[in-house]
A = this chain, B = another copy of it.
Amino acid sequence: MASSAEPNKGVSLTPRQRDILKVVVQRYIETATPVGSSAVQAVGGMDVSTATIRNELGALEEAGFLAQPHTSAGRVPTAQGYRYYVEHLVERTDLPVPEQRMIQHQFHQLRLDMDQWTRLTAAVLAHTARAASLVTPPHATNARFRHLELISINDATCLMVLVLQDSSIHQEMLMLSDVVDQGELSRVSNKLNALVGGLTLRDIKDSTHPELATLRGFEASVLERVLLVMKGAERRTAQEIYRDGLSHMLSEPEFADVTKREQALRLFEQRRLLDLVLSRMLGATGVQIIIGGEGSQSEMEDFSMILSPYGVRGKASGVLGVVGPTRMAYGRSISAVRYVTELMDQLIQDLFGQ
């Protein structure tokens, strides 16, 4: 299920230490306040004394799983502590069946286009995980030409609508150097449809079709633009990242602080960083958990992400997941991401599966 950036060192925790670590993490996730030895005893139903627990807590801190904000405070999980928790300790529960039903219902209820569909996914995910969600629309990794339409807007402009095999739609305004009327536009688009219909970017470039080489000025420039768009469609994670549930994240107590809040908003509004992380996910398998921005920019230090690629690899796939503070409800979020991923896999399989 989870990636492991670091192999968690030569750690071998005793069963009791694992119990204690689990209680500390769960309790801290719940209350957002440092967890002391007596709380562990009470909540965890331990039948050892607080002193023993204190010793164990000390050991866990020594090993790097816990930290103390200040001398007389309880313990707080470190990134490594969370990592161990999600890998070995968290219970992998399924979403309650009624909730599954409700979600399925929402998807089947509406006839949707891809964008609305993606938006709905983001909303459902945010609501279910009670966290901020991210979803990229599904798209193919190999752009394959499906259909081109050129529509005259005015004397100097036309609208180019390009549909790819993954049913993604790309539109662009074309500035014309000469006046070209709709009849001519239709002729050009028909010709190109016939010539490159069903081909991938590579196919087109490698094509030895005699007519391709002899395209005239305007036709050639349209094709060039088409190739550019197809290239863009392959490279980009997505035209847009759909987001929802920001309010869930910002009502967490860690964001009472102004600077923390601004950090969160920057992370969420700037496309740059998200693009980076999400596009990396496209190559992965299964639910990935990134804690404290492991490996990537320091801007994500205090955030965790639970992400998963979805769809049919190559044909129509995207990434979905949730973001939150490192102290996020991993259990619930993982369940939600996993379930929604499976659902999307299913839906896309039905549409694009061979």
Residues of A within 8 A of B (CB): 111-115, 146-147, 149, 151, 153-154, 157, 159, 161, 163, 167, 169-175, 239-240, 244-247, 250-251, 256, 258, 261-262, 265-266, 269, 351-352
Contact = CB atoms under 8 A, between A and B. Distances in A.
A163 B163 contact: no
Contact of A169 (B157, B171, B174, B352): B171
A46 to B, nearest CB: 35
Contact of A113 (B115, B163, B170, B250): B170
A114 B240 CA distance: 14
13 contacts: A113-B171, A147-B151, A151-B163, A153-B167, A161-B161, A161-B163, A169-B171, A173-B351, A250-B250, A250-B261, A250-B265, A251-B265, A256-B258
A247 B264 CA distance: 9
Contacts of A153: 167, 351-352
A262 B251 contact: yes
A256 B114 CA distance: 37
A183 to B, nearest CB: 13
A154 B154 CA distance: 36
Contact of A171 (B114, B250, B258): B114
Contacts of A159: 163, 167
Given A250-B265, A269-B246, A157 B258 contact: no
A53 to B, nearest CB: 34
B269 A244 contact: yes
Given A149-B163, A351-B157, A113 B173 contact: yes
B246 A113 contact: no
A251 B258 CA distance: 7
A171 B163 CA distance: 11
A111 B173 contact: yes
A312 B115 CA distance: 27
Contacts of A115: 171, 239-240
Contact of A151 (B167, B172, B246): B167
A352 B246 CA distance: 37
A112 B159 CA distance: 10
Given A113-B170, A251-B258, 13 more contacts: A111-B174, A111-B175, A113-B172, A114-B171, A115-B240, A146-B151, A153-B167, A159-B167, A167-B171, A169-B169, A173-B351, A245-B269, A250-B261
Nearest to A266: B247
B111 A172 contact: yes
Contacts of A258: 251, 256
Q: Which 3 A-B pairs have the closest CB atoms?
A: A247-B265, A113-B171, A159-B167
A81 B294 CA distance: 51
A248 B159 CA distance: 35
A167 B159 CA distance: 7
Nearest to A259: B251
A130 B111 CA distance: 38
A303 B286 CA distance: 43
A247 B171 CA distance: 30
A352 B155 CA distance: 10
Contacts of A251: 258, 261-262, 265
Nearest to A113: B171
A239 B149 CA distance: 22
Nearest to A172: B113
Contacts of A250: 250, 261-262, 265
